[in-house]
Amino acid sequence: MRTHVHALTDSIYGADVQLLVGAKPCLTSWLTRHGYPPDDEEASADGKTIELVHPTRGAVWIVWLPPDVALSTIAHECVHLAAEVLRDRDVVLTRDSEEAYAYYVSAMFEQMRAALHPTRRPSPRRRRRRRRRRDAA
């Protein structure tokens, strides 16, 4: 199975976040192909968030999820991602910073969900049929 890579937009903290979607062996081969050590976690993991140090880009966060992932697992990995990115930006989780964490989790969750479950738009032919039915009524 091929790994699909989605660059996520972090307009809040400017983190370089990459979403990898594919089977577990794809994560290991992607890491190896890009010069990182292979993942040593067990193959049964439902998702994973990894912080890597790129020689020119600095910190890069990789979130791996299988294509048939549950929404709860996406949320779970978003919490890991928020903890790692905000810790890197020296934002400690306190009552005062809780909203920053919640907002970050929400923003990343929406992007991951959209990448994994894109909304299908009806084809132009279907839209014309719907329009004709509506106009005929």
Model confidence pLDDT, tens digit, residues 30-57: 888 877 777 766 555 789 998 988 777 7
Kindly state the DSSP code that residue 121 receives in the 8-state scheme: P
3-class secondary-structure state, position 35: coil
What distance in Å separates the CA atoms of residue 126 and residue 19, rounded to the nearest whole number?
Answer: 32
| Residues 6+ away with beta carbon under 8 Å from 41 | 48
User: Per-residue confidence at 28, pLDDT binned at 50, 70, 90?
Assistant: confident
Long-range contacts, 44-51 (Cβ 8 Å, 24+): 46/70, 46/73, 46/76, 47/73, 47/74, 47/76, 47/77, 48/77, 49/77, 49/80, 49/81, 49/84, 51/84, 51/88
State the pLDDT at residue 24. Answer: 77
State the pLDDT at residue 33. Answer: 82
Kindly state the DSSP code that residue 97 receives in the 8-state scheme: T
Task: Give yes or no for a contact between 28 and 38, defined as CB atoms under 8 angstroms apart.
Answer: yes
